[in-house]
Amino acid sequence: MIPVKFPEAEATYGRRNAPFVPVHVFVDDEEVISCWQLSWWERIVIVWTGRLWLRQYTKGDKMHPQYPQVELPFVRGKE
């Protein structure tokens, strides 16, 4: 998977954190949203297994609530 830049993204996390890839994000007081593009192989694996693993580096802190989704999390007006 690779992170994707999207119109609402206003920040980038991980610019100087090798080996991690920089991630474009939307941030407000309640949430951080990022967008990821799956390779063809990853798409096939998900269709075949029906599973998506979510890995979060917490450095010993508690895990924050997660909400993986496929729907657009923004309301976009017609332009």
- DSSP secondary structure string, 54-78? -----TTSPPPP----SS--S----
- Give me the amino acid identity at 58: T
20 pLDDT higher than 70: yes
CA distance 8 to 6: 6
**pLDDT, position 6:** 95
Average pLDDT over residues 67-79: 85
pTM above 0.75, yes or no: yes
